[in-house]
Structures are given as structure tokens and as C-alpha cells.
Amino acid sequence: MSASVDTQRGAGLIRAENLSIAYGSGPHVTQVLHEVTLALAPGTITGLAGESGSGKSTLALALMGYRPSGQQVLSGRVDLDGSRVTGSSVRALHKLWGARLAYMPQDTSTSLNPALTIGAHFVEVLRRRGGRRTAAQRAAGWMGRVGIPEPRLALRRYPHQFSGGQQQRIALALALCLEPEVLILDEPTTGLDVVTQAQVNRLIVALARDTGVAALYVSHNLALLATVCDDLAIMYAGQIVEHGPVREVYRAPRHPYTSALISAVPSISASAPPRGIPGLARTSAATGECGFLDRCPLRVDGCASPIPLVEVSDGHVARCIRTAEVPAPGVQAARTAADREPGDPSVLITVTELTCQFQRRGGGAALRAVDGVSVTVTAGRTLGIAGESGSGKSTLLKAMAGLVRPTEGRMSFRGTDLHGLAAGRPLAVRKAIQIVFQNPDATLNPRHTIGQSMERPLRLFAPRTGRTERHRLIVEMMQQVQLSPVLLERYPRDLSGGQRQRVAIARSLLAEPEVLLCDEVTSALDVSVQASIIELLIGLRDQRRLALVFVTHDLGVLRSIADDAVIMQNGQVRETGPVAGVLAHPTDPYTVRLIDAVPHPETDLPAAPHHGTLHEPATES
């Protein structure tokens, strides 16, 4: 299985050869793929990892022969079993799609037609082979195979009657039901909760093994790919920079980018904070030089010329001229709260038996988003709050920020009661408690320049500051979050997601808060950007003795930034304690389930075939 990675010479079932693709026309051409060669072998799952803009989705679609409008193939080709896919007529492609080449998209809400029953979806696909008569039977068989209970009844239901995880299972069954030779999975579990994600991934691996399909699993989640795939290909700036057996690539990467990317993945078992990659990722393909050049710690003069793929061992290639010197993915010395400068562990916020209840529309029982929760926030430490979506973790945070009025319980700041709404709190308290949000697209007013946004907390909380002094403070803060003061004149749309998140953090810090509430501040970001934001927050916390409250759904992120952890489910606290203890020795069954679901490359890597149960009960909700 592992000998099938011969990117340069080997045949493979489906194969992209020197593929270069660009978007746009005339002077606005952006090349997104540059001379990509990739072969997939039957019975193998190849992982394709890369950050946004690396070209991984373009490559996945190109393998299908799909050509969106505005796209042009500059050179190269895709072959399926020796016959050409690129440039085929639409009619020819329609014969290939489903039957030989199958695609499973990320978002079932757009791939399944809400007006059709699941059975109708199957008939649509199956009638092309074997006729309608046997279709129902075969469809029911496949529904059973992907673990949908009562398959025959399920065929009569509509997509919305299934949970997100079940919809993905159905999409998988639809992709596989004509027994294709190639299966392209584009972030198939990205929108799902971690427990459901693990179940669906086990199913994907089991079915791929079972059917002997040549699968390409595209994901931004490196840890996940490491536990699911046989081979791993890493994309950067429109090129495949490294490709080989997953164990080798993940354990001993031979390209500086791979190494840096793996170092950026927060791990649930190591307390070392993930490391960010300095600089910004390029958004177009690198054509004449190494694409990673300007961010690479190992760069030499020779890097500016086109770099060939170098075979570092059997079936393992890397696009670097210094493969031998690439460091192993770094583990920094662990820093825990105890190692940090001891200060007075003063309690800042106390939340006691807090309940936030929402009235449902059209009556019915009220929803208790937060249900009798008690936590304490301490200066200089991070309180991490984790849980799946709907666990109430964000509502709890918003209550502390004064954005959601609690229905019961009390909150206090430095011993005095906290008003339920921010507008009712004194200026000093509003100044001391600041919040940063999840979505970098919405966190800054699109109609205000960065400078205007940054100025606001100063005007509000330090109204006596003069104009020049304000400007000095803002510039200083920009530098502290590693942003160029040039950006102050720009609007949010001119900034990347990571930059916007830095501005949002800087804006909060200008108020000189004592508590910084972070609501999933990294979950919309690429892993390397996430790592640099985590680094930044940890640095600021230690430097300013900030109390951080960090809400996240990612236990790896929780491990890397939190000192104390709170695990929530359905509005209630399931488990609480020091983060290392909670994650290493969970006592609550829910915590155990959550931790088991996290992909764990450190222990799962030895690529023994996964034993996924095919008929596991669909427990996801």
C-alpha cells in the first residue's frame, strides 16, 4: 500500500501530470497550480493538506475533470487509467462522474436536494446502472452499510430529517454506490462536531478499504489526515511541496513548510504551545522559485531558482534543496502556570450558579443555554472552556461580557456584583473586561478604518488622552500585535483574517483590561495563523498578567493555552480542573468521549488499518 506513492514515475490509477491551472483572463490572471504531479493508487487513501489558498481544492476538482468558468488549464493533464480526463467533453465527463470518479463535498446542505427524498437521490444515481427496479434494494443496502438505521424507511425521508453526521454518511453512500474507482473527499467532516467527525472518518476509512477505491482526502486538518491516510501530500502556493507515506511525512518531514505546519498543530497531549509561521502565505502559485522562500528559516541563494522534487527515500519526495537539514517538528519546552512568574493569584470574576434561559419562539419549554454554571477567573491564568456546539460555552462568555442577561445566579468582579448587561456596568468594569470574537469578517466595522476602530476604546476609557498620545499608543499596540502601522489607514477588507483578529485583540488591549474574554478567536483561521495568535495571547497574558477566558471547541487549542479547563455539555459543566489533568485523566464519560474523538497522531500514527465498525449505531445528534 505504501509503495504506491511514486509521484514522479509510478502509474497510479488516476494521475495528474505537470498540471498548471490559472483563474481569470488578460492582465488579471492568477495562477493557482504550478506543475502539480500526483498519482492515486487503488486501495490507498492519500491525504492532501494545505492552508487556504494553497490550491488543494482546485487540484481536487481538476482530478474530477471539473472546470469552473474562468479557469484555464495552462499545461499538463489528468489521466484516469491511461485515458485523458482533462479537456474531455461534458458528455464524456458525465459518463465518468459517479460511475468511475466520485466526489463527496463538504456541505450536505447544498449537495443534497431538500425537496427530494433520499431514495430519489439514489435513484438519480443508480438508474444509470442496473435500472430503477433494483435501485431501491441496492440503495437500502448502501444506507445500511453507512450505518443509517432502518434503511428502507430512511429512503422515504428528506435530507433535513437526518442529523449532520447522518447526512454526511448518506453523501458518502451516494458517492460510493456505483462503486467508483476514484473517490475525492473535499473536507468531508469539517462542519461536524468532533465526536461525529471521528465516527464519520472511521466509516470513510473502513469503506475505502472495503471497496479498494483510490481516495483523495482533502483537509486543512493535519492531525486528522495523519490518522486517516496512508500517504500525505502537502500543498503550498500551488505546488506539492512534500509527498510520502504519512508516518514519514508527519514524523520526519523533509520540507521546512511541512515541519513548520506540523509544529503549528496544537496537540492534546503536549502542553507546548503551537508555533506560528512568520509572514503571510502567498495567494498565487509559485512559478519560478520556492514558494516558501520568504518565510523559510533555511533559505539560501539557490532557493530562488525552480526547485525540483527530490526523492529523499523510497516513495517520499520533497521540493527543497536542503531536505537533509529540515528540523523535526519542534516541541518547545513546556511552560505551565507554575513556571511563570508567580504573582498574586487574585480572583477577578466569580460566576455562581449562573443560568441563561431563552424563550423559544412559538412557546414550548425554555432553552437553558447555560444551566447552573459556576467558574472563577484568576489573574495571569487562562480559563479554557470547551465543549461541542450548543454546549452553552459561548453564551456563558457573553454573559460575562454583559451581552446576554442571565436569568438566575450571580456574577461578581473583584467582589462586587456584576450587572447583567454591559450598559449597566460602571466604566471601570467595562474597561476591565474586554471581549474578542470568533469571526474575523465581522469583528471590525467594515465602514471604519483600522485606526478608527482602534481609537474607540481610548476615547471611551481614557477620554483625557490627547490626539498625539492616542496615536502613539495605537502605533505601539499595533507593533505589539506584530502589525504594521501602515494598516491604520486601511479598511478591514484589505486585511487577512489573521490580521483582523490581531486588530480585534489590539483594540481590546487598548482598554488595558484585566480580563480578556476570547470566543473561539482562532477557529476561523488557518492552523499556522491560529498558532501565531495563540503565541500572541500567551505572551500578552504573561506580560500583562491578563486573565484569559478562552472558549474553544478544539481540545488541542485548549491544551495549548489553558491552565484550567471547564468541559461543558448542554449548558452544564461536566468536568473541571487543571487542563493537563482533565485531558490526561478524564473522569466524566462525556469528556472521555470527547477526547477519544480527537485525532491523535502521536499514538495513532503507526498506520495499522483502522477497524471502523460499519454498523455502529448512529448516535450523533
Partner 1 sequence: MTTLAATVDTPAAPSRRRVRAFLAIPQGLAGSILLVLLLAVVIIGPFVAPYGENQIEGAPLQGPGGQFWLGTDTYGRDIFSRLLYGGGSVILLPLISISLAMLVAVAIGLLAGYLGGWLDLIVTRIIDVALAIPSYLTALVVVSAFGTSGTVVVVTVAVIYAPYIIRVLRAATQTISPREFVLAARARGERLRWILFREILPNIGPTLLVEIALRLTYAVMFIASLSFLGLGVQPPSPNWGVMVAENRLLLLVHPAGVIVPALMIGVLAIAVNLIADALTQFFGDRLHGRLMV
Q: Which of 410, 414, 456, 471 binds partner 1 (CB under 8 A)?
A: 456
Distance of closest approach, residue 403 Cβ to partner 1, in angstroms: 6
Cβ nearer to partner 1, comparing 117 with 449: 449
Binding residues for partner 1, rule CB under 8 A, total: 40
Match 454518511 to its residue by C-alpha cell.
169
Rounded distance, CA 435 to CA 449, Å? 20
Q: Within 272-291, which residues bind partner 1 (CB under 8 A)?
A: 279-280
**C-beta pairs of 136-140 under 8 Å, 24+ apart in sequence:** 138/177, 139/173, 139/177
Distances (CA, A) of 419 to 208, 275, 548: 55, 38, 20
Cβ nearer to partner 1, comparing 363 with 617: 363
476 lies in the site for partner 1, by CB under 8 A: no
Rounded distance, CA 321 to CA 554, Å? 35
Backbone region of residue 18 per phi and psi (left: phi > 0; alpha: psi in -120 to 50; beta: other values): left
Nearest C-alpha neighbor of 286 from the set 294, 277, 278: 294
The C-alpha torsion from 320 through 322 and 324 to 330, rounded to 10°, is -80
Q: Which of 486, 606, 608, 611 binds partner 1 (CB under 8 A)?
A: 486
Q: Binding segment for partner 1 among 35-43, 322-330, 394-402, 594-602 (CB under 8 A)?
A: 394-402
Q: Within 402-431, which residues bind partner 1 (CB under 8 A)?
A: 402-403, 422-423, 425, 427, 430
Match 486588530 to its residue by C-alpha cell.
503
Distance of closest approach, residue 504 Cβ to partner 1, in angstroms: 8
Q: Which of 117, 357, 480, 482 binds partner 1 (CB under 8 A)?
A: 482
Distance of closest approach, residue 359 Cβ to partner 1, in angstroms: 12
Q: Binding segment for partner 1 among 5-13, 23-31, 136-144, 504-512 (CB under 8 A)?
A: 504-512
Q: Binding segment for partner 1 among 41-49, 214-222, 405-413, 433-441 (CB under 8 A)?
A: 433-441
Rounded distance, CA 9 to CA 214, Å? 17
Determine the angle formed by the axes of helices 527-544 and 256-263, rounding to 10 degrees. Answer: 50
Rounded distance, CA 166 to CA 26, Å? 45
Sheet holding 564-569, edge to edge: 433-436, 515-519, 547-552, 382-386, 564-569, 572-578
Q: Which of 484, 543, 613, 621 binds partner 1 (CB under 8 A)?
A: 484
Cβ nearer to partner 1, comparing 279 with 297: 279
399 lies in the site for partner 1, by CB under 8 A: no
Cβ nearer to partner 1, comparing 29 with 427: 427
Q: Binding segment for partner 1 among 209-217, 224-232, 243-251, 440-448 (CB under 8 A)?
A: 440-448
515 lies in the site for partner 1, by CB under 8 A: no
Q: Binding segment for partner 1 among 356-364, 380-388, 478-486, 549-557 (CB under 8 A)?
A: 478-486
CA 540 from centroid of its chain's CA atoms: 24
474 lies in the site for partner 1, by CB under 8 A: no
189 lies in the site for partner 1, by CB under 8 A: no
Distance of closest approach, residue 52 Cβ to partner 1, in angstroms: 16
Cβ nearer to partner 1, comparing 248 with 514: 514
Distance of closest approach, residue 212 Cβ to partner 1, in angstroms: 43
Q: Which of 13, 307, 511, 531 binds partner 1 (CB under 8 A)?
A: 511
Nearest C-alpha neighbor of 494 from the set 453, 460, 535, 438: 453
Cβ nearer to partner 1, comparing 280 with 584: 280
Rounded distance, CA 402 to CA 242, Å? 48
Distance of closest approach, residue 451 Cβ to partner 1, in angstroms: 14
Please list, residue by residue across 490-525, b when 16 or more beta carbons sit within 10 angstroms of its beta carbon and e when fewer do. ebbeebbbbbbbbbbbbbbbbbbbbbbbbbbbbebb
**Amino acid, single-letter form, for residue 166:** Q
Cβ nearer to partner 1, comparing 111 with 443: 443
Q: Which of 313, 359, 445, 613 binds partner 1 (CB under 8 A)?
A: 445
134 lies in the site for partner 1, by CB under 8 A: no
Q: Which of 300, 442, 584, 592 binds partner 1 (CB under 8 A)?
A: 442
Residue 270: count other Cβ atoms within 10 Å of its Cβ: 15
Cβ nearer to partner 1, comparing 318 with 397: 397
439 lies in the site for partner 1, by CB under 8 A: yes
Nearest C-alpha neighbor of 513 from the set 341, 348, 337: 348
Rounded distance, CA 586 to CA 577, Å? 10
Cβ nearer to partner 1, comparing 278 with 589: 278
Nearest C-alpha neighbor of 71 from the set 22, 16, 18: 22
Distance of closest approach, residue 444 Cβ to partner 1, in angstroms: 6
Q: Within 518-547, which residues bind partner 1 (CB under 8 A)?
A: none
Rounded distance, CA 103 to CA 59, Å? 13
Cβ nearer to partner 1, comparing 54 with 394: 394
Q: Within 212-271, which residues bind partner 1 (CB under 8 A)?
A: none
Distance of closest approach, residue 165 Cβ to partner 1, in angstroms: 27
463 lies in the site for partner 1, by CB under 8 A: no
Q: How many helices (H) and strands (E) does the chain have?
A: 21, 22
Nearest C-alpha neighbor of 545 from the set 413, 350, 335, 379: 379
394 lies in the site for partner 1, by CB under 8 A: no
Copy the grid coordinates of residue 431.
Answer: 474597561
Distance of closest approach, residue 271 Cβ to partner 1, in angstroms: 29
Backbone region of residue 35 per phi and psi (left: phi > 0; alpha: psi in -120 to 50; beta: other values): left
Cβ proximity of 299 and 291 under 8 Å: no
φ, ψ for residue 52, nearest 5 deg:
-60, 140
Q: Within 143-172, which residues bind partner 1 (CB under 8 A)?
A: none
Q: Binding segment for partner 1 among 81-89, 182-190, 400-408, 410-418 (CB under 8 A)?
A: 400-408
31 lies in the site for partner 1, by CB under 8 A: no
Q: Binding segment for partner 1 among 58-66, 380-388, 484-492, 525-533 (CB under 8 A)?
A: 484-492
Cβ nearer to partner 1, comparing 423 with 608: 423
Q: Which of 273, 457, 556, 586 binds partner 1 (CB under 8 A)?
A: 457
Burial class for 191, CB neighbours closer than 10 Å (0-12, 13-18, 19+): middle
Footprint on this chain of partner 1 (rule: CB under 8 A): 279-280, 294, 398, 401-403, 422-423, 425, 427, 430, 433-435, 437-439, 442-448, 453, 456-457, 460, 482-484, 486-487, 489-490, 494, 504, 507, 511
